[in-house]
A and B are shown apart, each in its own frame.
Chain A
Amino acid sequence: MTVLQEDIAQLIIDTLNLEDVTVADIPPDLPLFGEGLGLDSVDALELALALQKRYDIRIASDSKDARQHFTTVATLAAFVQAQQGA
């Protein structure tokens, strides 16, 4: 797990008040929605807001890409990195 991935996992826990969940419980490849962590669309919105603030990035609202970026912690980290590099 990279530092950024760990950071994002912690952000997910803090933002969504996931009690009894630690960073170790959210491996980079765990699906965030549905079966995996069980987040839903409102959680995603909450998370997107937190990510935008924390990393000073823009998340396009309706692109299909945006949805794919939210698949796992790993995809999120890659997205954040790409945005910050841009």
Chain B
Amino acid sequence: MSEQVVQDRHWSAYKERGSFVLMRLTAFSVRVFGRRLLAPVLYLIVLYFFASARTARRNIRQYQTYLSEWSGNPALKPTPGRVFQQFIAFADNLLDRLDVWRGRLRFEQVQLIDPSGVRPRLLRSRQGGRGEMLVVTHLGNPDVCRAMAELSEQVPLNVLVHNRHVAQFNRLLGEAGDRSMRLIQVSELDTAMMMDLSQRLERGEWLAIAGDRVPLNDGRQVTVDFLGHTAAFPQGPWLMAGLLRCPVNLLCCLKVEGRYRIYLDAFLESAQWERGRRDAAIHEWVQRYADHLAGQCLIAPQQWFNFYAYWQPVELPSHKETADAH
């Protein structure tokens, strides 16, 4: 039993330190070694990760199995080679992220796919329009928000994260000369935080938050069908959107044929629920979001970088009623 607990560690246990160490590595070692020298090192690290992390291999195999079954495409079925390719894709992704953080990935290099005209609305916020929300995913390159900040030209983008290292991230951003993007730590929805976010929207700022990872110790989650199996998604982004009564858009960045594509999709014109139908409304939105995410997995099947057990039943902490919102 205890072994199981160790194996199925929550994603945040990996992430907390990981990203920051990675970024320090970025800011420092790339400057010293350059991408060409760093690449073989990273490939070695990922190779080691592949060889040693049985659980991660099993989880990727599970993802590939589900994706193949769900899409009815036998070409996506897992083979040792295909599982390995997904790890290699991860190494490539890390290298790309280094480039993003150094400002090497310019907006001109990124193809924007924006059928519903989200970017024009983003730019309009500069002239007194109200801000909106972007729900981002961990499929593809999650650091694209950096390129997004450039995309938004001067429209402040607040990235909401569950990370304790926010101050350090912000300092790094400042060092990199990035003034329009800011990280904000959200641990729980409370009145002060919501008030602050509401004021930011009124000032025309935008909010970005991940929609595909359930924070640790957060009972506010909803289970929906994802790739044919039940998975837990966070309620937080949708509660927030409903409380702020703002439009919600989806943002995803995938590498297709060697080039990054940013997908922007309008999702909810205004997040609002009828009295007594809140849970049902959120469930409906999250299911629609999961379906959208599944569709994007098909565009870039190898770029699913959730190496933890995505479909595991997440334990619910005892739910405290009424009191915990204040």
Contacts and interface: CB of A to CB of B under 8 A. Distances in A.
B323 A48 contact: no
B278 interface: yes
B278 A42 contact: yes
B191 A61 contact: yes
A42 B190 contact: no
Interface string B233-272: 0000001000100000000000000000000000000000
Q: Interface size class for chain B?
A: 10 to 19
Contact of B325 (A17, A34, A45): A45
A45 B323 contact: no
A38 B7 CA distance: 41
Most chain B C-beta atoms within 10 Å of own C-beta, residue among A41, A44, A63, A70: A41
A30 interface: no
A48 B326 contact: yes
B113 to A, nearest CB: 34
Interface in B274-312: 274-275, 278
Given A41-B323, A62-B326, 15 more contacts: A17-B274, A40-B322, A41-B322, A41-B325, A42-B239, A42-B325, A45-B191, A45-B194, A46-B243, A48-B191, A48-B326, A52-B191, A59-B195, A60-B191, A61-B193
Interface of A: 16-19, 33-34, 39-42, 44-46, 48-49, 52-53, 59-63, 66-67, 70
